[in-house]
Amino acid sequence: MSIRKLLLPLTGTAAGEAALDTAVRVARMWNAHVTALHVRVDSRDVAPLAGEGLSGAMIEEMMAATEKESSERAHAVRALFDRYVAEHQVPVGEARPGEMTASFATVVGREEDLVAQQARLADLTVVPGPEAGEDVTSSDALHAVLFDSARPVLVAPLVAVAHIGTRICVAWNGTAESAASVQAALPWMQRAEAVRVLTADEYHRRGPAAADLLSYLALHGITADIAVFRPVDRDVGAGLLHAAREFQCDLLCMGAYSHSRLRQLILGGVTRHVLENADLPVMMTR
């Protein structure tokens, strides 16, 4: 399948603008539509605080302040979108088959719920990677899409890149999650100039070997090679990223959280390391 619709949860930060640039680059490649979605905080969410000893007047004041802040942020995000599409001559309008377009929408509610719901009818959701010092656990939109949409997510680097998907690396460990990432990446790999499968004894789980994956890809007309990487300072995630950079990879495809998310958040893991340290586009699937 090809990519026809991208969802971009837009927040207005510098990382958000880089993600917008990534989404537009991908949309131009595929003649796809980008829906930039801004989720406003519902001021009524502060109402439950009334049960914690605050007066009605105090609750109303908090709701008014929340509404004002939410409105100002929504205006700033819309201004960012309008400026970007004007500067980069992005056609704005409804989705049309075979044409690259973009649109902006604002909704009110819980970001993680609404983004996951909208992502279910998008071919790809683009989210910004965590900024310096930001805990990856705070990326509600990213985890909502991974765990509750059954669709792939493209984690955009904080600095926009010139090319996406010309040299692709597939992180393979034999799991269902890595198999899902291969399925999502097939149309990308069929267009790529070079494809490499990255594997390691420390990374592999029970399941098909990398050589089996090469045979499967060949059935789809994809020629790939295998590189066995080593952990860096005993860190598998660091070894994976090092191998991807050696290949001059501009798209890394991988399964996410093949261990439980809780275990990875507490103890660390390949997914967490990649999310916190990747400086290239990473397409994750779970």
Strand 33-40 relative to strand 5-9, pairing: parallel
* 173 and 151 belong to one structural domain: no
Q: What pLDDT score was predicted for residue 55?
A: 62
* 78 and 103 belong to one structural domain: yes
pTM > 0.85: yes
* 150 and 175 belong to one structural domain: no
What distance in Å separates the CA atoms of residue 249 and residue 144, rounded to the nearest whole number? 27
Which range marks the domain in which residue 250 is found? 167-285
| 140 vs 215 pLDDT, higher one | 215
* 191 and 280 belong to one structural domain: yes
| 27 vs 58 pLDDT, higher one | 27
| 257 vs 23 pLDDT, higher one | 23
Average pLDDT over residues 85-94: 96
Question: pLDDT tens-digit profile of 159-200?
Answer: 888 899 999 999 999 999 999 999 999 999 999 999 999 999
* 224 and 260 belong to one structural domain: yes
Question: pLDDT tens-digit profile of 47-60?
Answer: 555 555 666 676 67
Question: CATH number of the domain that 202 lies in?
Answer: 3.40.50.620
> Within 13 Å and on the Cβ side, how many CA atoms surround 242?
13
What distance in Å separates the CA atoms of residue 106 and residue 170, rounded to the nearest whole number? 35
Average pLDDT over residues 71-99: 93
* 133 and 204 belong to one structural domain: no
* 214 and 148 belong to one structural domain: no
Number of domains within the chain: 2
In a domain, 67, yes or no: no
Banded pLDDT at 280 (limits 50, 70, 90): very high
What distance in Å separates the CA atoms of residue 69 and residue 67, rounded to the nearest whole number? 6
